[in-house]
Structure 1
Amino acid sequence: MSARPGVYGHPPADLAAVPDGAVQFSPLVPGGAALEELAERSLPGLTMLAPPGTLERRHVLALALRALAPGASLTVLAPKDRGGSRLARELSSFGCRLDESAKSHHRIVRTVRPDAPTGLDEAIAEGAPRRDDGLGLWTQPGIFSWNRIDPGTALLIETMPPLSGRGADLGCGLGILAHAVLASPKVTALALVDNDRRAVEAARRNVGDPRVTVTWADARAADAVPERLDFVVMNPPFHDGGAEDRTLGQAFIRRAAAALRPGGTLWLTANTHLPYEATLGEVFKEVTQRASAHGYKIHEARK
């Protein structure tokens, strides 16, 4: 899943007031407008939660400045240890004059769009979608494991057998795991679900197989996943707004169990320290650990 640090996070409600006529935007929250789709110089104001990755953050800051009208207000916030300490320097590099403050472990930077900001095109290009030659896939900074194969995903691919029937990949990310699943000709349908719009767009480009459907949705939602599936594969998220949240993975496990037919199978990869065994035991009849290496574990669970 594209999802990982911050994807499920929301800024504290008391951190920023929205100026009259301004737009609230978080590049990390599904369902919001895409900054790159907004017309240049069209917004009267913007308040946004900045993402943690440097390339991703500079990308969205540049997109925000491009979308704002000259002189329009911009308020940006981020946790101090997740990019907040760099906000002032990064906005200054675009030619902005700043008012910086701190609250609730966040940095808050207020500015207005200069008449002629500098360096926007370069920052937008650095964080834009691109084809990674090493992966052989389309990707974008900010997507989970955007420039490498996650070790947990790699271990799952090495461990699971060829699958068959109808299945789903919850938190599909770029589609790396989907490629491995679809190598089996016995797979008749595969639903890819992710709540990161960028990951969904990349997966659609990367997985051109008629057996596949790709959905932009929160995999925990009941209507996001088909029912009576033969198998589910997943590498679920375990961060919410930068903090570890084990209930995310537990919710993914419960959703997988609800989507599977009796006798259907879940293949799960997770960090070794995450205590998912109790949840697996609650909703599956048989649970077997199939591998453990490099700080990850693989479970097969049969409903």
Structure 2
Amino acid sequence: MPPVELAEAPTGSRQFSPLIPGSGKLEDQAGGSLTEMVLLAPPGTVERRYTTALALKALAPGGRLTILAPKDRGGSRLAKELKGFGCDLSETSRRHYRICTCERPAQLTGIEEAITEGAPRYDESLGLWTQPGVFSWNRLDPGSALLEQNLPALSGKGADFGCGIGILARAILKGPGVTHLALLDIDRRATEMAARNIEDQRAEIHWTDVRSGLRLSGLDFVVMNPPFHDGGAEDQSLGQSFIRKAAEALRLGGVLWLVANRHLPYEGVLKPLFKRVTPKVEAAGYKIYEAQK
């Protein structure tokens, strides 16, 4: 969310963030249908240009755009990018943010190219559908790869917490003993890509926040590579919350398979919640645990 003291959203405005479950989809908003928009710009160049282009396209000519970002996370590039789209703008700086305001010009330039560049794509090297902005969107995350290589054949019903584009879920579903797999992710784009990548009737995909959304119970297994960054800053409480939710969702005797960066102190959360916590693999800066409830 944009810091309210820097850029307050208009009263009655609609949320379009792909990271807030239940929000609208900016890609589906009719062109020229909005009069004002406030946008916290993403840090990645391709994703930022894509989102900015979608916002400008959705605004009516003369509609007002306020766009901001931390200076070191794309803010310093906002003015140049807006000018490249044909916008005349004003720019201010507050609290290490760059804040740009402009009216949507009658004639935009380069909009469709930016939208095409940031849209979903099939990545030949991954063999999967993906989209800029999704976690590890153009490479195989080494933690997930390590967990995939060391997962045993699972069975029963389970869940993939923070499923991303479906890399671990595809590996899980190779097991014939798996009867149902819930895939959960807070990023709408990730769940949309997972839906493209997984054609299996046993899979059920949910756009939700693992910490507060869908409530699961009686699971035989949970698999996860939990996040530990929020807004670019390390936040160990994210992974800790995932572990607690896994313990709530598992049946007695159910198992959690977890991969994490070596430096993250998850043992202190795991041990009170599970009767057996077993380190399985440690390699390339990552560690894998099997924990039985």
Instruction: Report the TM-score, using the length of structure 1 for normalisation.
Output: 0.93
Does 1:142 pair with 2:116? no
Q: Which whole-Å CA distance do the structure 2 matches of 1:283 and 1:21 have between them? A: 43
For structure 1, list consecutive stretches of 5 or more residues without a partner in the other structure: 1-9
Residue 88 of structure 1: how far off its partner (Å): 1.0
Residue 18 of structure 1: how far off its partner (Å): 3.7
Residue 26 of structure 1: how far off its partner (Å): 3.7
Partner residue in 2 for 1:115: 106
Q: Which stretch shifts more, 65-74 or 29-38?
A: 29-38
Q: Is contact 1:191–1:225 with CA below 8 Å preserved after alignment?
A: no
Q: Which stretch shifts more, 252-261 or 284-293?
A: 284-293
Partner residue in 1 for 2:221: 231
Amino acid at match of 2:122: R
Q: Which whole-Å CA distance do the structure 2 matches of 1:24 and 1:91 have between them? A: 22
Q: Which whole-Å CA distance do the structure 2 matches of 1:75 and 1:24 have between them? A: 14
With over 3 angstroms needed to count, the CA separation of the structure-2 counterparts of 1:21 and 1:246, relative to structure 1, is closer
Counterparts of residues 70-149 of structure 1 (less than 5 Å):
70-149=61-140
**Helix, strand or coil: the match of 1:189?**
strand
Partner residue in 2 for 1:5: none
Decide which of 272, 286, 291 is 1:282's aligned counterpart.
Answer: 272
Q: Is contact 1:54–1:83 with CA below 8 Å preserved after alignment?
A: yes
Q: Is contact 2:18–2:187 with CA below 8 Å preserved after alignment?
A: no
Give the length in aligned residue pairs.
293
Amino acid at match of 1:295: G
Does 1:67 pair with 2:58? yes
Decide which of 241, 248, 262 is 1:272's aligned counterpart.
Answer: 262
**Helix, strand or coil: the match of 1:88?**
helix
Aligned alpha-carbon RMSD (Å): 1.4
**Helix, strand or coil: the match of 1:270?**
strand
Amino acid at match of 1:206: N
With over 3 angstroms needed to count, the CA separation of the structure-2 counterparts of 1:302 and 1:21, relative to structure 1, is closer
Q: Is contact 2:19–2:186 with CA below 8 Å preserved after alignment?
A: no
Counterparts of residues 1-303 of structure 1 (less than 5 Å):
10-18=1-9, 25-221=16-212, 224-303=214-293
1:150-169 Cα offsets, whole Å, 9 max, x none, are 00000001112111111000
Q: Which stretch shifts more, 86-95 or 22-31?
A: 22-31
Residue 227 of structure 1: how far off its partner (Å): 0.8
With over 3 angstroms needed to count, the CA separation of the structure-2 counterparts of 1:166 and 1:110, relative to structure 1, is same
Amino acid at match of 2:3: P
With over 3 angstroms needed to count, the CA separation of the structure-2 counterparts of 1:113 and 1:266, relative to structure 1, is same
Q: Which whole-Å CA distance do the structure 1 matches of 2:65 and 2:137 have between them? A: 28
For structure 2, list consecutive stretches of 5 or more residues without a partner in the other structure: none
With over 3 angstroms needed to count, the CA separation of the structure-2 counterparts of 1:18 and 1:188, relative to structure 1, is closer
Q: Which stretch shifts more, 183-192 or 17-26?
A: 17-26
Amino acid at match of 1:80: K
Q: Is contact 1:197–1:216 with CA below 8 Å preserved after alignment?
A: yes
Instruction: Report the TM-score, using the length of structure 2 for normalisation.
Output: 0.97
1:53-73 Cα offsets, whole Å, 9 max, x none, are 111110010000100000110
**Helix, strand or coil: the match of 2:43?**
coil
Amino acid at match of 1:100: E
Q: Which whole-Å CA distance do the structure 1 matches of 2:230 and 2:11 have between them? A: 30
Q: Is contact 1:25–1:47 with CA below 8 Å preserved after alignment?
A: no
Q: Which whole-Å CA distance do the structure 2 matches of 1:275 and 1:183 have between them? A: 31
Q: Which whole-Å CA distance do the structure 1 matches of 2:11 and 2:176 have between them? A: 56
**Helix, strand or coil: the match of 1:39?**
coil
Q: Which runs of 4+ in 1 moved over 6 A?
A: none
Q: Which whole-Å CA distance do the structure 2 matches of 1:219 and 1:21 have between them? A: 27
1:207-265 Cα offsets, whole Å, 9 max, x none, are 110111001100112x5142110000001111111111100000000000000000100
Higher RCO, Cα 8 Å, sep 6+: 1
Q: Which stretch shifts more, 171-180 or 11-20?
A: 11-20
Q: Which stretch shifts more, 77-86 or 246-255?
A: 77-86
